[in-house]
Amino acid sequence: MMTANGTRCNRGNNRRCVLTGFSFKTGQKGVTLIELVLTVGLMSLITALLFFVYSAGVKTWELGDAQSEMVQNARIAMERLISAIRKGRYVEVVSPSEIKITMPFGDEITYYLLGDQLIRKRAGGANPVAGKITELKFSRDESGLIQVYLKVENRGTSAVLRSKAKPRGL
């Protein structure tokens, strides 16, 4: 075997030989049991640590994704409600969780909470607008503004949106 400086290493002598950056005596044949156990233990510890870091990262990402979806649902619901109220000629707060909007051409649209879904009912057909909604409240103040309170929940976190709108007819 040749060393880095070009001298020859024989198995019988005690000179150090360099092979790909490692230095060893020519008489050594392998690693001891202690070295092997320490290496395997250290690699296991590093692997377990990496797994826990990865697992925590995945859980954090899933929580962020759920919160993002929750906020997006709330925004969609609020945007649809406020847009319909602003376009409406007449708005009637039927109950704290139901509102009936008469549009300029006479169409009637009703929004209400059914379970955890915001439902839009128009001309006999009802369609869900958004989900995971836990509270929906409508009220009218003295000036005619319709106030909307919307609360959504997902995986233990919640978000609340509030808005006001004035119907076109007022």
For 8-25, how does the pLDDT look when each residue is reduced to its tens digit (9 = 90+)?
555 555 555 544 555 556
pLDDT in tens, 86-117: 999 999 999 999 999 999 888 999 999 999 99
Instruction: Note whether 92 and 154 are same-domain residues.
Output: yes
Rounded CA Rg of the chain: 35
Domain count, the chain: 2
CA dihedral 121, 126, 130, 136 (to 10 degrees): 50
User: Which residue range is the domain that position 1 belongs to?
Assistant: 1-30
Structure tokens at 11: 């198995």
Instruction: Note whether 22 and 66 are same-domain residues.
Output: no
Instruction: Note whether 76 and 153 are same-domain residues.
Output: yes
